[in-house]
């Protein structure tokens, strides 16, 4: 049986969207990421379901920063309700010391972008022996 009642509306319709965004006064389309270092690699995973990785996702490393950008164009339709996010999405993280930006790789599977950055092992500090000269 189909209900004849209109769909429930909140008193403040934009409030739910505002509370759902962890950075309400910043970037509205924030992508969710997770990052960690293991086995000499820095890994960043980003949730980007429904994107064409060849056309709409870009990864750039510059100046010690890794930036992931994605774009989703809205589709015009007769939809009266949509919770999809459209527009530009971007996230920048600081690369760890020793990041080898010349050998970054990225792969996209199941709506998850995984970026792998090789990290050179940190060199241990060196103790300098002081030479004494007689005067």
**Band of pLDDT at residue 80, cut at 50, 70 and 90:** confident
pLDDT over threshold 60, residue 28: no
Give the list of residues 6+ apart from residue 24 with CB closer than 8 angstroms, or none: 18
Q: Which of 111, 68, 69, 110 shows the shortest CA–CA distance to 87?
A: 69
- Taking a C-beta distance cutoff of 8 angstroms, is the pair 103, 116 a contact? no
**Band of pLDDT at residue 84, cut at 50, 70 and 90:** confident
Overall pTM > 0.85: no
Q: What is the mean pLDDT of the chain?
A: 81
- Per the model's pLDDT, the better-predicted residue between 28 and 81 turns out to be 81
pLDDT at position 63 is 93
- Taking a C-beta distance cutoff of 8 angstroms, is the pair 99, 119 a contact? yes
pLDDT at position 72 is 85
- Per the model's pLDDT, the better-predicted residue between 24 and 38 turns out to be 38
Domains observed in the chain? 28-74+86-118 (2.60.40.790)
**Band of pLDDT at residue 7, cut at 50, 70 and 90:** very low
Give the pLDDT confidence of 89-116 residue by residue, as tens digits: 999 999 999 999 999 999 999 999 999 9
Q: State how far the alpha carbon of 58 is from the alpha carbons of 4, 27, 29, 49, 77, in Å.
A: 46, 18, 16, 14, 27
DSSP 16-31: HHHHH-SSTTS-SSPP
Q: Which of 65, 63, 48, 62 shows the shortest CA–CA distance to 107?
A: 48
pLDDT at position 43 is 98
112-118 and 105-109 beta bridge pairing: antiparallel
pLDDT over threshold 90, residue 40: yes
């Amino acid at each position: 049986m189909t209900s004849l009642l209109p769909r429930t509306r909140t008193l403040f319709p934009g409030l739910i969207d505002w509370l759902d965004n962890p950075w309400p006064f910043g970037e509205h389309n924030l992508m969710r990421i997770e990052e960690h270092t293991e086995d000499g690699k820095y890994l960043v995973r980003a949730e980007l379901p429904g994107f064409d990785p060849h056309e709409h996702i870009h990864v750039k490393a510059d100046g010690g920063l890794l930036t992931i950008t994605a774009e989703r164009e809205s589709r015009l339709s007769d939809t009266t309700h949509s919770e999809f996010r459209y527009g530009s999405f971007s996230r920048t993280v600081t690369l760890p010391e020793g990041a080898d930006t010349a050998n970054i790789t990225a792969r996209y599977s199941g709506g998850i972008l995984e970026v792998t950055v090789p990290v050179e092992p940190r060199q241990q500090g060196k103790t300098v022996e002081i030479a004494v000269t007689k005067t």
